Amino acid sequence: MTRIIAIANQKGGVGKTTTAINLSHALARLGRKVLLIDMDPQGNAGRGVGIDINIQENTIYEILSKRLTPTQAITTTGFDGLDVIPANLRLAQFEAEHNGTFSPFLTLKKALAHLPKNHYDYIIVDCPPSLGLLCLNALVAADSVLIPVQCEYFAMEAVAAIISTVARVQHDMNPRLTIEGFLLTMYDQRTTLGTEIQSQVRKTFKENTFLTVVPRNQSISESQGRQEPVTTFRPTSQGASAYFALAREVIDHNEKR
Ligand SMILES: Nc1ncnc2c1ncn2[C@@H]1O[C@H](COP(=O)(O)OP(=O)(O)OP(=O)(O)O)[C@@H](O)[C@H]1O
Ligand SMILES: [Mg+2]
């Protein structure tokens, strides 16, 4: 069964895209067939797996606006087992075109229904930093949501907002949506703040918090400049190890039930 996981948090810069790219690639390295979908007009998820999004004609926008089927817009990456549907600035038009009374929350879900059944083991959807139409489309289409929590001030306030959106989506549109887990990101063990946020998150969300903690790691930022996952760029770095460990947790959670 394909498992669709949205990576969401309306707070900007908390590690959503980094997690989408590296979790996708790590799952593919562990033998799973993975489709990474970018739902953010910034387009960084596609860039991060080597796509030149500025010249890309087949994007998620063409799917949402029904100019292409998902199969037509899937692009292979240079990484075995990992395909991508990238985004670019054209995606911003989707929200603009639908700011009237009719809100098409089901568009992504309906489009994904056209994919060959169970061709992918995992579909990972990178959400933009807002709780608008694009993020809601992702949450309506998803089986679960993975919430990155940056070990920084105001982390918990941001988490409260995404949790209440998840509850609303569960209630109104997607009762099967679950929380895949909370993931601590950019953790710096030298600061007391990081330790405090970690214990606050673990106390609040208990076993819903991933055991894996992603450290702040320079190889991760460098890999993005090179437009490749850290899991290939420096596979033995602390950042890569964390994302491999996260992928194993996701596999344990979903495949061993
Ligand atoms: N573990 C890490 N170590 C070092 N740098 C990181 C780490 N995770 C993310 N970064 C860097 O932090 C910045 C923000 O990360 P990222 O783009 O993944 O966040 P985001 O939540 O997707 O942001 P946005 O809300 O804009 O979509 C990027 O420059 C990224 O390279
Ligand atoms: Mg992002």
Per-residue pLDDT of the chain (257 residues; tens, 9 = 90+): 999 999 999 999 999 999 999 999 999 999 999 999 999 999 999 999 999 999 999 999 999 999 999 999 999 999 999 999 999 999 999 988 886 657 799 999 999 999 988 999 999 999 999 999 999 999 999 999 999 999 888 888 889 999 999 999 999 999 999 999 999 999 998 889 999 999 999 999 999 999 999 999 999 999 999 999 999 999 999 999 999 999 999 999 999 86
User: For residue 68, how far is its CA from the centre of ligand 1 (angstroms)?
Assistant: 30
Separation of alpha carbons 94 and 51, rounded Å: 21
Ligand nearest to the backbone CA of 8: 1
- Ligand 1 neighbour 226 (Cβ under 6 A): no
Q: Which residues are placed with Cβ below 5 angstroms of ligand 2, an ion?
A: 16-17
- How far apart are the C-alpha atoms of 87 and 117, rounded to whole Å? 23
Q: If DSSP codes are grouped into helix, strand and coil, which group holds residue 38?
A: strand
Q: Which atom of ligand 1 is nearest to the CA of 186?
A: 1
Q: How far apart are CA 155 and CA 176, in angstroms?
A: 26
| All residues at 6 or more sequence positions from 177 whose CB lies less than 8 Å from its CB, including other chains | 139, 142, 143, 144, 145, 166, 169, 170
pTM above 0.75, yes or no: yes
* The domain made up of 3-255 is a member of CATH 3.40.50.2300: no
Name the phi and psi angles at 150, rounded to 5.
Answer: -75, 135
- Beta bridge partners of residue 10, listed in sequence order: none
Nearest ligand, CA of residue 18?
1
Query: How is the chain split into domains, by residue range?
Result: 3-255
What are the start-end ranges of the H helices in 101-154? 107-112, 133-141
CA 185 – ligand 2 centroid, Å? 13
- Enter the tokens of residue 51: 């796509």
- List the residue whose alpha carbon is closest to atom 15 of ligand 1: 15
User: In whole angstroms, what is the distance from residue 181 CA to residue 178 CA?
Assistant: 9
Ligand 1 atom closest to Cα of residue 126: 22
Rounded Cα distance between 177 and 169, Å, is: 8
Q: Which residues of 3-18 are buried (b: 16+ CB within 10 A; e: fewer)?
A: bbbbbbbbbeebbbbb
Is any atom of ligand 1 closer than 6 Å to the C-beta of 15?
Answer: yes
DSSP E strands: which ranges in the chain?
A: 3-7, 34-38, 75-76, 82-85, 122-126, 144-150, 178-187, 209-215
